[in-house]
Amino acid sequence: MAAISAIKSREGKTQSYVLLLTDITRQKQHQAELEKIAHYDMLTNLPNRYLLDERLRDAMEYASHHNEPLAIIYIDLDGFKAVNDNYGHQTGDMVLVSIARRMTNVIEEGDTVARLGGDEFIVVAPRIHQKNSHHEYFARLLNSLVQPFHCSGGVFDMSASLGITYYPQSDEVTPDRLIRQADMAMYEAKIHGKNRFVIFDTKKDLYQRGFGRIISELKHGMNNRELRLFYQPKVNMRSGELAGVEVLVRWQHPEKGLLLPAHFLPATVDDALSVIIDNWVIEQSFKQLTQWCNDGHNFHLSINVSVKRLEEDGFYAFLSRLFNEYTKIKRDHITFEILESSAVADLEYVSSVITEISRLGVKFSLDDFGTGFSTLNFLKKLSAEEVKIDRSFVRGMLDDESDLIIIRAVLGMAAPFGKRVVAEGVESEAHGLALLRLGCEYAQGYAIAKPMPPEKLAVWHESWRPFQSWLQFKHY
Ligand SMILES: [Mg+2]
């Protein structure tokens, strides 16, 4: 460091200068060291996560300005922990240093390889499309890691799992989000057997995050009491008897209006929310049924339950509690409907739960029958009293011979097992008559009644009469 001062006479004239030189080498070295500590990993000398963040932001800016895709590669060594455990940390560190060197040799000019910590690394590869082939580049990176390592502790075979994502994407994404995506893809590479690379699927992610949005909105909606229960009658077409009412959930969305379950329930299938909704529906409909009992109505209820609800512990205890609380409800007036297609997935288990819950005195129904595997074994294993033929077959039965054949087959399968068969989706008098001719007396559908709010049910029940052709139908 140089400092120059002027020496002046009494009159103020500069007479000479004094130059003061100081050696600040050590200060500079210290400063550089601090900078290095802040931006580089001490073991491997690779950029650390702070410098990575800086480089990634720069690369993203470049990529979006020049519309040149950039790849972010998350690298995790397979079985690195075993090296540390079996040979000690010193050997482990040596492996990490060689890994860093190998990757540095493989990456191209302008790429960054950084160490996140442990055995996790990130490569940022700008202008990825200028590299011969992306996949070849990823494979080269992967191959550099599978070569054996020679250390004082011995020779190791190593491999790594790589997860890759690209930028830009159709959605706005942050650097953090990109690293998370690459991490998720890396995790998938691990699940699929390690020593491979997996490219993050943004379309699948968007779809699932769409579900995420629905779920969080729905949670909010539940707190705001936006869910409604509608009730759809199920009748005997020949006698006009009301056999029961199916509870159907609707979402009174503040902006989108009244939503059918198809618009929101699929998002909840793999989420704990589906159990919460099922519990809510069951409890609310118990309240409603008690209300009807108090008003002198003797309705039967059919309630849809998800297989996830059956699988979760505590369903038996939950129902016992409700029956103790809502004492007016007759247990055999409650039927739980289970989707046939979902019950198939774990037949033995679902069958055991049904058997257990049946001890409470409630009944079971197989919903949407015909859409799954519909085997005889299925009918045998599940002690359900009722089978509901899926609406898709009923709707088509008047013009589509194969739908008619399926309905006939379901009736033929269910009868020997003593199951009641209910046809869903009966939209006209003609459909009902055709079903009666096949021997199916129970039905549900718009020709009988649409799902309605609870206060309308009693009035409907008072006034409803089956079509004359249904009443007059006689079996020969
Ligand atoms: Mg149903």
pLDDT given at position 212: 83
Three-state DSSP class for residue 285: helix
pLDDT given at position 399: 92
Within 326-428, residue ranges assigned H as helices are 340-343, 347-358, 376-381, 391-396, 401-414
Cα(309) to ligand 1 centroid in Å equals 15
The secondary structure of 117-153 as a DSSP string is ETTEEEEEESSGGGSS-HHHHHHHHHHHHHS-EEETT
CB 338 within 8 A of CB 309: no
- Any idea what DSSP says for residue 270? T
User: pLDDT tens digit string along 196-228?
Assistant: 999 998 877 777 777 888 888 999 999 999 999
pLDDT given at position 120: 95
CB 233 within 8 A of CB 449: yes
Cα(304) to ligand 1 centroid in Å equals 5
Cα(89) to ligand 1 centroid in Å equals 59
Cα(285) to ligand 1 centroid in Å equals 14
Cα(182) to ligand 1 centroid in Å equals 41
Distances (CA, A) of 440 to 51, 253, 435: 72, 37, 5
| CA-based nearest residue to 388, from 259, 204, 232 | 232
Residues of the chain with pLDDT under 50: none
Mark the residues whose beta carbon lies below 5 A from ion ligand 1.
Answer: 304, 337, 367
**All domains of the chain, ordered by start, with CATH?**
1-39 (no CATH), 43-200 (3.30.70.270), 226-471 (3.20.20.450)
Question: What kind and span of H or E run contains 97?
Answer: helix 89-106
pLDDT given at position 241: 94
- CA dist 136 and 429 (Å) reads 65
Strand 334-339 with 301-304, pairing? parallel
- pTM for this prediction: 0.62
Cα(246) to ligand 1 centroid in Å equals 7
| CA-based nearest residue to 158, from 96, 210, 215 | 96
pLDDT given at position 2: 93
Cα(458) to ligand 1 centroid in Å equals 21
Cα(250) to ligand 1 centroid in Å equals 13
pLDDT given at position 342: 67
Within 224-333, residue ranges assigned H as helices are 265-268, 273-294, 307-311, 315-325
Cα(471) to ligand 1 centroid in Å equals 26
- CA dist 450 and 100 (Å) reads 67
